[in-house]
């Protein structure tokens, strides 16, 4: 393995997710104990003092894999030469804000960051978007970075994927490691479709093992799709440690490859597979290898699944229309 540090940018680094994510990245959860990483942390000016405190804590951990940390508020300086950019920072929805206001506020952030990455990132850069609305933010960044291949952008649906595995494990008593080939389709929102009709538990079809269509339709799907809101309700703020963990899982599998006889869910640019309109950043079952991903082909989609995939991708098409109207893409 290379001993050259991987340069990893994290935006919104002084936020809640950042507080968990940075320590996972620095301690070797991404590429293991033998590959050093260098952190490049982007924040807005008013948050830089808090970020300095986080860096003091990173120093105090004396992580052997952490080869350096740079912080700042200038995207072009922070993204210079980065191999991986984890775009976490985004403006959360505040009281009285409409969806359009959120798209517009975050659109400005992802337009600027897409342009900066286009200008200064390393030629092998991979960009993972966690900040919401993740799929459409990724679309905005991708469109504003015309020199970076579109397949280098993805939005995070791995948290939903992990949530689905966990719910399925609890229902069936299986261990999470026995559960394979779960899929999240569509948007990282309440319209997402967590699909277990192709999933396996201990090598058997998961839907057959569950053998309870009503539980799938009325409990499993809404529980996974609305888990973010349930956590906000219980904790008073959105998921942070689990979102950070999923961000690491997604980046690690993207760079190092998904497991044999399994796949992961990633929101990536649609090539029209499974009737998802081309160009949308929509979640699919994908396999990954050497930093590339491939949509799993040939899965049979029945009427039940078709309706749910179509509903979520229609929402993504609406978001794309809204940001097009705002002149962001």
Ligand X SMILES: NC(=O)c1ccc[n+]([C@@H]2O[C@H](COP(=O)([O-])OP(=O)(O)OC[C@H]3O[C@@H](n4cnc5c(N)ncnc54)[C@H](O)[C@@H]3O)[C@@H](O)[C@H]2O)c1
Applying CB under 6 A, which of residues 6, 7, 16, 223 lies at the interface with ligand X?
16
133 binds ligand LMR (CB under 6 A): no
Question: Torsion angle, CA of 162/165/171/175, rounded to 10 degrees?
Answer: -110
DSSP symbol at 329: -
Q: CA-CA distance, 73 to 46, in Å (whole number)?
A: 9
Cα gap 316→188, rounded to integer Å: 10
Site for ligand LMR (CB under 6 A): which residue of 27, 104, 118, 238? 238
Residue 44 binding target from ligand X, ligand LMR, none, CB below 5 to 8 Å by type: ligand X
Instruction: Select from 179, 76, 5, 117 the least CA-distant residue to 128.
Output: 117
Distance CA(323)–CA(329), nearest Å, equals: 6
Is residue 136 within the footprint of ligand LMR (CB under 6 A)? no
Q: Binding of ligand X at residue 144 (CB under 6 A)?
A: no
267 binds ligand X (CB under 6 A): no
User: Which is nearer to ligand LMR, 36 or 107 (by Cβ)?
Assistant: 107
Cis (ω within 30 of 0) for the bond into 7? no
Residue nearer to ligand X on the CB measure, 187 or 270? 187
297 is in an annotated binding site: no
- Residue nearer to ligand X on the CB measure, 17 or 179: 17
Evaluated on CA atoms 223, 97, 267, 79, the torsion sign reads negative
- What are phi and psi for residue 105, nearest 5 degrees? -65, -45
C-alpha distances out from residue 196 to 13, 269, 301, Å: 34, 22, 11
- Site for ligand LMR contains 229 (CB under 6 A): yes
The nearest distance, CB 19 to ligand LMR, in angstroms, is 16
Query: Would you call 198 a catalytic residue per the annotation?
Result: no
Q: Is 164 annotated as belonging to a binding site?
A: no
Stretch of 28-36, 120-128, 131-139, 142-150 lying at the interface with ligand X (CB under 6 A): 131-139
Q: Name the CA dihedral angle for 29, 33, 38, 39, rounded to a multiple of 10 degrees.
A: 20
Determine if residue 18 is labeled as part of a ligand binding site.
yes
| Residue 92 binding ligand X, by CB under 6 A | yes
158, 181, 188, 227: which one is catalytic?
188
Q: Listing from the earlier edge strand, what are the strands of the sheet with 66-72?
A: 66-72, 37-42, 6-11, 84-87, 126-129, 153-155, 264-269, 281-289, 292-295
Token pair of 7 as six digits:
């340069």
Based on the shown chain and the rule CB under 6 A, indicate whether residue 231 belongs to the binding site for ligand LMR: yes
243 interacts with ligand X by CB under 6 A: yes
Interface positions with ligand X (CB under 6 A)? 11-12, 14-18, 42-44, 47, 88-92, 109, 130-132, 134, 156, 159, 188, 238-240, 243
Interface positions with ligand LMR (CB under 6 A)? 132, 159, 228-229, 231, 238-239, 243
- The residues carrying an active-site annotation are 188
């Amino acid at each position: 393995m290379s001993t050259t540090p991987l340069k990893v940018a994290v935006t919104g680094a002084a936020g809640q997710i950042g507080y968990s994510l940075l320590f996972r990245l620095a301690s070797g959860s991404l590429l293991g104990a033998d590959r050093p990483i260098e952190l490049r942390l982007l924040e807005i000016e008013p948050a830089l003092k808090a970020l300095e405190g986080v860096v003091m804590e990173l120093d105090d951990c004396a992580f052997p894999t952490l080869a350096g940390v740079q912080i700042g508020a200038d995207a072009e300086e922070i993204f210079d030469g980065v191999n991986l950019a984890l775009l976490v920072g985004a403006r959360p929805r505040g009281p009285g804000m409409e969806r359009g206001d959120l798209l517009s506020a975050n659109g400005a952030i992802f337009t600027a960051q897409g342009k900066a990455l286009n200008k200064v990132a390393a030629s092998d850069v991979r960009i993972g978007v966690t900040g919401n609305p993740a799929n459409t933010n990724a679309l905005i960044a991708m469109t504003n970075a015309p020199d970076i291949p579109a397949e280098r952008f993805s939005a995070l649906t791995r948290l939903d994927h992990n949530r689905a595995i966990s719910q399925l494990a609890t229902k069936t008593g299986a261990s999470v490691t026995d559960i394979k080939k779960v899929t999240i389709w569509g948007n990282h929102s309440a319209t997402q479709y967590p699909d277990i009709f192709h999933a396996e538990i201990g090598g058997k079809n998961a839907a057959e093992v569950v053998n309870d269509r009503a539980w799938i339709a009325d409990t499993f799907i809404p529980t996974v799709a609305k888990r973010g809101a349930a956590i906000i309700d219980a904790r008073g703020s959105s998921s942070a440690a689990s979102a950070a963990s999923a961000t690491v899982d997604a980046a690690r599998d993207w760079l190092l490859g998904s497991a044999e006889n399994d796949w992961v869910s990633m929101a990536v640019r649609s090539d029209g597979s499974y009737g998802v309109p081309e160009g949308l950043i929509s979640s699919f079952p994908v396999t990954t290898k050497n930093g590339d991903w491939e949509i799993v082909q040939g899965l049979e989609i029945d009427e039940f699944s078709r309706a749910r995939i179509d509903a979520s991708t229609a929402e993504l098409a609406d978001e794309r229309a809204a940001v097009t109207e705002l002149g962001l893409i």
